[in-house]
Amino acid sequence: MADKPRWFQTTAIDYPNSRPHIGTAFEKVGADVQARYRRMEGYDVFFLMGNDENTVKVSKRAAELGLDPQAYCDDMARQFREVWDALDISYDTFVQTSGERHKQCARTFIQKVYDNGYIYKGSYEGLYCDGCEAFKTEKELENGNCPIHKRPVVRRSEPCHFFKLSAFGDRLLAFYEENPDFIQPESRKNEIVSLIKNDGLLDVNITRRGEAWGIPVPFDPEFTIWVWFDALLTYITGIGYGDDRATFDRYWPADTHFIGKDITRFHCALWPAMLWAAGEQPPRKVFGHGFVNNNGEKIGKTMGNVVDPVEIIARSNSDAYRYYFMRECPFPSDGDYSGQRYEEVYNSELANNLGNLFSREMTITYKNFGGVFAGTAGKTPEPVVPGLDLRAFVETVRGHVEGCRYNLVLQEIVQNFLTPTNQYLESNAPWKLVKTDPEAARRVLFNAVQSLRVASILLKPFIPRSAEAIYTSFNFPKPWAEVKYADAAELAPQPDDLRVTAELIDGKPKPLFPRIG
């Protein structure tokens, strides 16, 4: 246990303004695939998620609903977790930033940054709307008026605290240089580098005055901590920063922060600077994934086209949901969801290819051999895909998983492994062969079943339930909980005769992916 490599990853901390949609879920599924893969490969994984609750918008929304902000946050957190659970997201902790522990640890952090001299008091000047009692950005204004109150805003300044972000520009550039993989994908890195080089970094106002909801600043309690500063801290307060140094030191620095491409700036510039200012190490990697569109249109509440993941799961199942988004939307880039495309991908790859392959192999075996491959104990299966170097194939897949190129992983498995297995069955036709040469037919099936074993192992991080159902339908020697990618790279003999262990009804397995549409 002590020498187990550890893997700490996080997803973005979401605003609980409304229920999660397929775009929010895209990130969680992609991150979950990585977490499951790392666990398989023997890492001591810690997967952190959470909600960002200390915002003015949250307290306003709660007030609209006549709820206490805390009650509102707790209910939203419950709803978020319900969705994540429905998608089999295997998070280890879910942090609510309104929680007392987080607040206390966040105060410890900001105090440390203050003590180290990276926070100074100044004043913020901006455009203020008296109706909203809040500052507005120029972009929000409509002809110089507040878009809500239709009244002119006034220039106003008020005291605040600045974080000396400007002091870290050179250090950040040097850090990116020394750690070329820190920002993934590459295109996002170029944006940040050019931003810092061309425009430089300005000190940021990290406190707000007179807010009732939020975390009071320890060295100046009239102020609360700005939500971004607070939210980023979730990544460390969730693993013990501030009150459990041993756990913190075990998991920090994070191996990967999974975030949307729109917030790379905060994670790649502000966040490392904050950590340095507090005397801590920066994270190892930030992965800015792409966005999901709905029928080619950007998803947004104003667009009125948000899709609730639960609706899609209801039409199929969680594995199918995970498969679609990982297969159809390249994780580093944008992708698209449409009901029609969902059906196409589901039917073509899950039902017709993988599901049907499983089904036909099970049925032929049961009908002709009673589900037992007699005499196969100690026999090594033969390869079924002509010209495929299984070891190299698995390494290719592994490289794609580790690089979060999930769509390529699934493409590889379906096109270069499952389809050829269907072709192998077709050209050897064991259902015919059994009439003339039962031994040969049994050997063909014995070989073909190995493809299910290999595929189920490789697919385990993506479709955990179905992969388990396939694998445990046979008496493969290694327990499902212990399989690793390396097991997929080898065709090893079984200690005992291979046999079907799945429960069959009329000689048929329950379809893994019944066709839809």
Partner RNA sequence: GGCGGGGUAGCUCAGUGGUUAGAGCAAUCGCUUCAUAAGCGAUGGGUCGCCGGUUCAAACCCGGCCCCCGCUACCA
Per CB under 7 A, residues contacting RNA are 138-139, 187, 190-191, 194-195, 198-199, 261-262, 265, 296, 298, 328, 330, 333-336, 341, 344-345, 347-348, 351-356, 358-360, 363-364, 367, 415, 419, 422-423, 425-426, 431-432, 508, 511-515
Q: For residue 509, give Cα distances in angstroms to 366, 447, 500, 501, 502.
A: 10, 19, 10, 11, 7
Beta bridge partners of 208: 224
Structure tokens at 391: 């070891």
**Least CB distance to RNA at residue 144 (A):** 8
DSSP character at residue 309: H
3-state secondary structure (DSSP) of residue 474: strand
Q: Which is nearer to RNA, 97 or 466 (CB)?
A: 466
Shortest approach of RNA to residue 515 CB, angstroms?
4
- For the bound state, the minimum distance from the C-beta of residue 358 to RNA, rounded and expressed in Å, comes to 6
Taking the complex as a whole, the smallest distance from the CB of residue 367 to RNA amounts, in Å, to: 7
Q: Which is nearer to RNA, 356 or 475 (CB)?
A: 356
- Classify the C-alpha dihedral 60-132-225-257 as positive or negative: positive
Minimum Å gap between C-beta 186 and RNA is: 9
For RNA, the closer of residues 374 and 516 by Cβ is 516
Nearest approach in angstroms of CB 267 to RNA is: 13
Q: Could you tell me the smallest distance in angstroms from the CB atom of residue 368 to RNA?
A: 9
CB of 141 to RNA, least distance (A): 7
Q: What b/e string do you get for 177-193 counting C-beta neighbours within 10 Å, with b at 16 or more?
A: eeeeebbbbeebbeebb
Q: Which is nearer to RNA, 97 or 456 (CB)?
A: 456
3-state helix, strand and coil shares in percent for the chain, rounded to the nearest 5: 50, 15, 35
Nearest to 151 by CA among 136, 133, 131: 131
* Strand pairing report for 183-184 and 207-209: unpaired
CA distance 190 to 187: 5
What distance in Å separates the CA atoms of residue 417 and residue 397, rounded to the nearest whole number? 11
Distance spanning both ends of the chain, measured CA to CA? 48
Comparison of 100 and 199: residue with beta carbon closer to RNA: 199
Q: Which is nearer to RNA, 21 or 102 (CB)?
A: 21
Alpha helices in 87-119 (DSSP H): 100-115
- Under DSSP, the state recorded for 380 is P
Q: For residue 6, what are the β-bridge partners?
A: 44
Q: Which is nearer to RNA, 228 or 431 (CB)?
A: 431
Shortest spacing between CB 477 and RNA, in angstroms? 25
By beta-carbon proximity to RNA, the closer residue of 131 and 514 is 514
Measured distance CA(367)–CA(438) in Å, rounded:
12
CB-based contacts of 142: which residues, under 8 Å, 6+ apart? 150
CA distances to 137, 149, 433 from 204, rounded to whole Å, are 15, 28, 74
